[in-house]
Amino acid sequence: MNSLAADRPAILAESLTKTYGSGNTEVIALRDVTLKVQRGEVVALLGPSGAGKSTLLTAIGLINPPTSGRIHIGGHLVLDGPHPAVDLRAFRRKHLGFVFQRANLIPFLSALENVQVAMEINDVTPRAAKQRARELLEYLGVGDRASHLPEELSGGQQQRVAVARALANEPGLILADEPTAALDSHRGRQVMELFAKVSRERQAAVLVVTHDHRALDVFDRTLEMEDGRLRESAPSSITPATQH
Amino acid sequence: MNLAVRDIRHHSGRFVLTTVGIGLLLMIVMGMGGIYRGLIHEAILLVDRIDADIWIVQGRTRGPFAETSRIPVSLEDRARAVPGVAWSRRLVSHTIQREHRGRPLRMVVQGLAWPDDNGSWIPLVAGRPLGQAHFEMTADRSLGLALGEQLTLGKDRYTVVGLTRGLVGTGGDGLAFFTASDALAIQFDVPGDARRLERAARRERVASQDLGQVLPLLLDRASGPENDIPALTPPQVSAVVLKLRPGVDTNDVIKTISAWPDVTAYSTDQQKQLLLGGMVDRSRRQLGMFRVLLIIISTIIMALILYTLTLDKLHDIAMLKLIGARNGVIVGLILQQALLMGALGYGLAWWLGQYAFPRFPRLVIIEAPDLLMLGGIVLAISVLASLLGIAKAMRVEPNKVLAG
Ligand SMILES: Nc1ncnc2c1ncn2[C@@H]1O[C@H](COP(=O)(O)OP(=O)(O)OP(=O)(O)O)[C@@H](O)[C@H]1O
Ligand SMILES: [Mg+2]
């Protein structure tokens, strides 16, 4: 299912800049950001509020194109400046999985259907989609809540359903923006460990924006942003598995 | 997985309420179409029932139903003598509105050429046809009269001996059949005082002329009943209708009769056209206008509600786009809701109509082609109504998910 080339970096972003607005209201959110993440790598993105973390994540997620620079995912050029080089929506459904601070589940679909719909829009047969959705919810420990609507789930349960949805199409790249902000530290850590597990098992790259320094040991690598610039950081507690 | 239905189940209140409203509006649209069909049916019902080939009416009028017509009853005999004519009958028809049991009673008084015609062709649902030359009548059920009920019209009392159903005149008023002479008596009923004054005036006029002075007998005649006066015109009827022998060309006979002074002859088809072209056509335009307005209102209501239902879902639509849903999924979601609303509203309209239309004061005839056409219109307005929401949904950016 995952057709991204295995020998190419999962993410290769070259000289990204992003400017919001113009004139008086101009904000430069990304200043010449270059980033490479290999398959199977779990990377944390840290930094103060307003540093440009979400901007970078959504640029790589193909929902917020950069002003200039190029983005390659799995060896495919996908964005050349603001110009798409592929059908972005098709690319997202096939290769990307998203998790945000809020679960953003569709309120009129059950937990199971929220996961199922992600596969059905990717042309998986409803039968197969349902089967796999059930397995994913089991895997994430919310199998018993499968038929409940999001409003009937706790915040943590909702977030785990959202993670299941992100994993549904076995994406090569998982992007998460503060996925554990709404969870207690125990649950938060569980989600982070889950990302690490998926990354190991499926050779997916994972890029996670987080403020939670307690779970940093889960990550292979930590990047830090400040005022639109990216730099590698190597806190003593982390022994990166793969450095570049 | 059908997103449209799942969303509706979640937001059922607004959807159901709107669907009921649309259903009621469509029922009225359907009913108005049915009323138009009913008008046509009623307008030509009597013309069909009378089963004549040619209608002789007052010259240059469009009588006897579309407007008043008066012709001398003697034309009945004259027409009978025309070659090719099988039978010829006088026709008396006029609408009256009287008080009965404290309520206004409107009816079309229809005279039968008794004794040639006792009305045995009238489809009765109860009772019997007229059995004597005076003081009996048959009434349509819509008049609310019962079998055996007595009714005072003019100076006489009439007994209802037979009942018909759905037999109404061109204006939708129930038909009551009398003998022609009774029908004329009802039409020309003049209060006693007026009649005495008229007789006195006639006597004056005759007395002031030399003829009256020479022949005193004339004075007595002049002050007697009208039908004893030979010099007065014979009684007037509304029309004379003819049936031709098989194989006789209607146009030939019409040509012959048209040469007579002061009458106009119509074929039955022309007679129907007179009715449909005048009154019914105005009603058709009126009903048509209302229907168009109601359809527009339905479309606007549907569009607004579908738009607000879409606004409520914008975040979810953005999320669907974010996880890569094709536009077709999103268009389908809104369009299916619109079609479902239209289809349910239409079904409801039809179902309610089964109960409501028979209770309408006018006849409602629902025909399959009309239903089919309305179905097509509902389909079209459903699609149209969804466009506003679809346009909004198409403009949503996937990164709206992150904005709050
Ligand atoms: N849509 C936008 N329009 C204008 N400016 C924006 C927009 N989105 C972000 N910005 C600005 O770009 C800069 C970077 O924002 P971004 O959301 O990427 O920060 P962040 O690192 O994710 O912060 P936080 O930790 O608070 O989420 C900020 O100064 C922000 O105000
Ligand atoms: Mg952010």
Question: DSSP labels for A150-176?
Answer: GGGS-HHHHHHHHHHHHHTT--SEEEE
A153 lies in a domain? no
Q: Domain ends where: B251, B277, B303?
A: B277
Q: For position B345, what pLDDT does the model report?
A: 95
B64: cis peptide before it, omega within 30°?
Answer: yes
B80 lies in a domain? yes
pLDDT tens digits, B101-129: 888 889 999 888 888 888 888 888 899 99
A4 lies in a domain? no
pLDDT tens digits, B276-285: 887 778 888 8
Q: Please check whether residues B118 and B140 belong to one and the same domain.
A: yes
Write out chain A residues lying below 8 Å of B11, CB-based. Answer: 108
Q: Is B323 close to A92, i.e. CB distance below 8 A?
A: yes
Q: For position B347, what pLDDT does the model report?
A: 96
Percent of chain B with pLDDT over 90: 42
Distance B244 CA to ligand 2 centre (A): 95
Distance B35 CA to ligand 1 centre (A): 64
Ligand 1: nearest atom to the Cα of A47 = 21
Q: For position A244, what pLDDT does the model report?
A: 45
- Which residues share a beta bridge with A44? A208, A222
Say whether pLDDT at A69 is over 70. Answer: yes
Say whether pLDDT at B271 is over 80. Answer: yes
Q: For position A242, what pLDDT does the model report?
A: 42
A222 lies in a domain? yes
The single-letter DSSP state of residue B212 is H
pLDDT tens digits, B182-218: 888 888 776 677 777 777 777 777 777 777 777 777 7
Q: Please check whether residues B373 and B224 belong to one and the same domain.
A: no
Phi-psi category of A122—alpha, beta or left, where left has phi over 0 and alpha has psi -120 to 50? alpha
Provide Rg for chain B, Cα atoms: 32
- Among protein residues, the one with the nearest Cα to ligand 1's atom 12 is A29
A16 lies in a domain? yes
Distance A54 CA to ligand 2 centre (A): 4
B167 lies in a domain? yes
Distance A2 CA to ligand 2 centre (A): 28
Q: Please check whether residues B19 and B122 belong to one and the same domain.
A: no
Q: Is A109 on the interface with B (CB under 8 A)?
A: yes
Could you identify the residue written with the tokens 């109509």? B353
Q: Please check whether residues B89 and B204 belong to one and the same domain.
A: yes
Q: Please check whether residues B363 and B387 belong to one and the same domain.
A: yes
Could you identify the residue written with the tokens 């830090």? A224
Give the number of domains in chain B.
2
Q: Please check whether residues B258 and B303 belong to one and the same domain.
A: no
Helix segments in B191-267, DSSP class H: 192-207, 210-214, 216-222, 250-258
Between B113 and A70, name the one with better pLDDT: A70
Q: Please check whether residues B92 and B195 belong to one and the same domain.
A: yes
Tell me which long-range contacts B270-276 makes (C-beta under 8 A, separation of at least 24): B270/B55, B271/B47, B271/B55, B271/B65, B272/B43, B272/B44, B272/B47, B274/B62, B274/B65, B274/B66, B275/B43, B275/B44, B275/B47, B275/B65, B275/B66, B275/B170, B276/B40, B276/B43, B276/B44
Q: For position B231, what pLDDT does the model report?
A: 58
pLDDT grade, residue A1 (50/70/90)? very low
- Is residue A49 lining ligand 1, measured as CB closer than 6 Å? yes
pLDDT grade, residue B226 (50/70/90)? low
Q: Domain ends where: B217, B249, B277?
A: B277
Q: Please check whether residues B152 and B262 belong to one and the same domain.
A: yes
Q: Is A95 on the interface with B (CB under 8 A)?
A: no
- Most confidently modeled of A82-86, A198-202, B49-53? A82-86
Q: Which residue in A has a C-alpha nearest to residue B319's C-alpha?
A: A104
Q: Is A18 on the interface with B (CB under 8 A)?
A: no
- Among protein residues, the one with the nearest Cα to ligand 1's atom 31 is A50
pLDDT tens digits, A14-31: 999 999 988 888 999 999
Q: For position A227, what pLDDT does the model report?
A: 92
pLDDT grade, residue B234 (50/70/90)? low
Q: For residue B9, give both structure tokens.
A: 């189940």
pTM over 0.90, yes/no: no
Q: How far apart are CA A228 and CA A56, in angstroms?
A: 9
Say whether pLDDT at B270 is over 80. Answer: yes
Say whether pLDDT at B403 is over 80. Answer: no
Distance A56 CA to ligand 1 centre (A): 10
B74 lies in a domain? yes
Provide Rg for chain A, Cα atoms: 17
The single-letter DSSP state of residue A122 is T
Q: Please check whether residues B205 and B187 belong to one and the same domain.
A: yes
Say whether pLDDT at A237 is over 90. Answer: no
Q: For residue A84, give both structure tokens.
A: 């798409």
* Domain range enclosing B380: 2-42+282-403
Q: How far apart are CA B165 and CA B163, in angstroms?
A: 7
- Which CA distances in Å does A50 have to A25, A100, B219, B255? 15, 17, 120, 99
Q: Is A63 close to B11, i.e. CB distance below 8 A?
A: no
Phi-psi category of B147—alpha, beta or left, where left has phi over 0 and alpha has psi -120 to 50? beta
A198 lies in a domain? yes
Say whether pLDDT at B238 is over 80. Answer: yes
A30 lies in a domain? yes
Q: Please check whether residues B272 and B366 belong to one and the same domain.
A: no
- What phi and psi values does residue B92 have, to the nearest 5 degrees? -115, 125
| Lowest mean pLDDT, pick from B108-122, B229-243, B246-260, B280-294 | B229-243
Q: For position A238, what pLDDT does the model report?
A: 45
Q: How far apart are CA B130 and CA B128, in angstroms?
A: 7
Are B47 and B221 within 8 A, CB to CB? Answer: no
Listed residues: CB within 5 A of ion ligand 2? A 54
Give the number of domains in chain A.
1
Average pLDDT, chain B: 87
**Residue A239 belongs to domain with CATH number:** 3.40.50.300
Lay out the sheet containing A205-209: strands in order across: A96-99, A173-177, A205-209, A42-46, A221-226, A229-233
Q: Domain ends where: B255, B277, B299?
A: B277
* Domain range enclosing A233: 11-103+171-243
Q: Please check whether residues B316 and B373 belong to one and the same domain.
A: yes
Q: For position B191, what pLDDT does the model report?
A: 67
A140 lies in a domain? no
B230 lies in a domain? yes
Mutate to test the pocket of ligand 1, among A16, A19, A27 (most ligand atoms within 8 A of CB): A27
B137 lies in a domain? yes
Q: How far apart are CA A214 and CA A126, in angstroms?
A: 40
Mutate to test the pocket of ligand 1, among A18, A24, A30, A53 (most ligand atoms within 8 A of CB): A53
B310 lies in a domain? yes
Q: Is B323 close to A116, i.e. CB distance below 8 A?
A: no
B47 lies in a domain? no
- Is residue A27 lining ligand 1, measured as CB closer than 6 Å? yes
Measured between its terminal Cα atoms, the distance across chain A in Å is 28
Q: For position B229, what pLDDT does the model report?
A: 65
B354 lies in a domain? yes
- Among protein residues, the one with the nearest Cα to ligand 1's atom 3 is A20
Candidate from B10, B324, B326 with C-beta closest to A107: B10
pLDDT grade, residue A235 (50/70/90)? low
Give me the mean pLDDT over the B166-181 stretch.
85
Give me the mean pLDDT over the A43-65 stretch.
94
- Rounded to a whole number of angstroms, the distance from the CA of A91 to the nearest CA of chain B is 8
pLDDT tens digits, B58-83: 988 887 888 888 888 888 888 888 88
| Lowest mean pLDDT, pick from A60-64, A103-107, B231-235 | B231-235
Q: For position B361, what pLDDT does the model report?
A: 81
Q: Please check whether residues B112 and B216 belong to one and the same domain.
A: yes
Q: Kindly provide the b/e burial profile for residues B341-373, where b requires at least 16 CB atoms within 10 angstroms of the residue's own CB.
A: bbebbbebbbebbeebbeeeebbbbbeeeebee
- Is residue A21 lining ligand 1, measured as CB closer than 6 Å? yes
pLDDT tens digits, A82-100: 999 999 999 999 999 999 9
Say whether pLDDT at B21 is over 90. Answer: yes
Q: Which residue in A has a C-alpha nearest to residue B400's C-alpha?
A: A63
Q: For position A4, what pLDDT does the model report?
A: 64
Give me the mean pLDDT over the B286-309 stretch.
91
- Is residue A25 lining ligand 1, measured as CB closer than 6 Å? no
A223 lies in a domain? yes
Ligand number, closest to the Cα atom of A51: 1
